Amino acid sequence: MKLLVFEYISGGGMADQVLPDSLAAEGRLMLQALIDQLKDLAAIQLLIPLDKRCNIVVPANADIIWIDEQSPKNYLSDLIAQADAVWPLAPESQGLLADIAQQVLDQNKQLLLSSPTTVRLCSDKLATYQTLIAHKIACVETQLLEQNSLNQYPISVLKPIDGLGCEGSIVVDNPQQFQQLKSELTNYILQPYVAGQAVSLSCLFKQGQGWLLSCNQQQIQLKQQQFHLSACMVNVPNPYPEFYQNLIDKIAKALPELWGYIGIDLIETVEQGPLLLEINPRLTTSFVGIYPATGINVAEQAIQLLTNAPQIKPTQQHIVTVDIHGN
């Protein structure tokens, strides 16, 4: 199988722009980890576009296509045509990941991702909230910013409705600043600031079923009214094993077209228990630490989803810290 692995940031998606340091670092981390897990799989030939400004360790079974500002604008479409299957890694914002997924299906290629419809829904934080609440899944309350005339919460969190991770988040506790931001920002959501431990679940999904790979702690700092993710502790002890498996089962039923690796972000609170924040329908930074922490080759298990259920059998149990800015 010729597999096209396309990581948007380091794969040429911004070849004619300045690469943002943080996103480029995360992109290279995830791309390298994915390639390292795919390189030894039998019958897989890798096809990898790569921005000339980015460096990765290239395996012997990979064809590298170097991309720069002079490359044809439709290079991705041409590469999809050459592949049997495509594994896209891209931000969900502005419909980017969903559009790439649709390109793959339009060329009748195997997509190693959720359906474009589900990717688009997960990209919309308000639509995700409304869908999950309808299935009685406990979430952090989410509303459109423009529909709120007053600052409802003592401390409010404003986020782009389709933002990536902490990107664009603003924490506000001043009513005057709240009103000013409300008049300036468009397509933003409003959530209460919820105290607790930020965690993520790394999972696999297929046709209404879900499997937990690891429970992770996110190290998030609040600087100048904005959240910043600095690192992830992967495979920490799971304090709610039955709750989280039940949660994954509910999400699988609420979003039956979720497929492959999925990241779920939550806040573990003292009073309300775990509250879901968002669903990431793609590889997340935590993916980088799963293999060294557990011995599970997640890429291999995801490809196995094409024909069978995954075999989640950890061979070791370690906690691995993925330092985003230190790599």
Give how far Cα 108 sits from Cα of 86, 205, 248, Å: 11, 22, 30
Other C-beta atoms closer than 10 Å to the C-beta of 316 total 11
Other C-beta atoms closer than 10 Å to the C-beta of 175 total 11
- Average pLDDT of the segment spanning 223-252: 89
Instruction: Please measure the distance between the N-terminal and C-terminal CA atoms of the chain and give it in whole angstroms.
Output: 31
Q: How high is the pLDDT of residue 304?
A: 95
Instruction: Give domain status of residue 65, yes or no.
Output: yes
Do 20 and 67 reside in the same domain of the chain? Answer: yes
Do 256 and 300 reside in the same domain of the chain? Answer: yes
- Average pLDDT of the segment spanning 54-77: 91
| Residue 12 near residue 92, CB atoms below 8 Å | no
- Average pLDDT of the segment spanning 270-291: 95
- Residue 326 clears pLDDT 60, i.e. is over it: no
Separation of alpha carbons 104 and 95, rounded Å? 15
| Residue 180 near residue 158, CB atoms below 8 Å | no
Do 203 and 232 reside in the same domain of the chain? Answer: yes
Does the model's pTM come out above 0.85? Answer: yes
Do 177 and 230 reside in the same domain of the chain? Answer: no
Instruction: Give domain status of residue 26, yes or no.
Output: yes
* Residue 173 pLDDT level (bands cut at 50, 70, 90): confident
- Residue 164 clears pLDDT 80, i.e. is over it: no
Do 149 and 106 reside in the same domain of the chain? Answer: no
Do 214 and 276 reside in the same domain of the chain? Answer: yes
Domain span including residue 225: 122-137+195-323
Closest to 305 in 3D by CA, of 214, 209, 234, 213: 209
Instruction: Give domain status of residue 48, yes or no.
Output: yes
* Average pLDDT across the chain, whole number: 91
Helices and strands: H and E segment counts in the chain: 9, 15
Between strands 45-51 and 2-7, the pairing is parallel
Separation of alpha carbons 139 and 250, rounded Å? 13
Instruction: Give domain status of residue 149, yes or no.
Output: yes
143-147, 217-221, 289-293: least confidently modelled range: 217-221
Q: How high is the pLDDT of residue 150?
A: 62
Separation of alpha carbons 304 and 211, rounded Å? 13
Do 132 and 276 reside in the same domain of the chain? Answer: yes
CATH code for position 133: 3.30.470.20
Instruction: Give domain status of residue 6, yes or no.
Output: yes
Other C-beta atoms closer than 10 Å to the C-beta of 286 total 29
Instruction: Give domain status of residue 208, yes or no.
Output: yes
Separation of alpha carbons 107 and 82, rounded Å? 10
Q: How high is the pLDDT of residue 143?
A: 92
Do 158 and 205 reside in the same domain of the chain? Answer: no
Number of domains in the chain: 3
Do 61 and 86 reside in the same domain of the chain? Answer: yes
Helix (H) or strand (E) holding 241: helix 241-254
Do 75 and 164 reside in the same domain of the chain? Answer: no
Do 254 and 130 reside in the same domain of the chain? Answer: yes
Instruction: Give domain status of residue 167, yes or no.
Output: yes
Q: Which residues contact 241 (CB under 8 A, 6 or more apart)?
A: none
Q: Which residue has the higher pLDDT, 287 or 151?
A: 287
Do 72 and 175 reside in the same domain of the chain? Answer: no
Instruction: Give domain status of residue 117, yes or no.
Output: no
- Residue 327 clears pLDDT 70, i.e. is over it: no
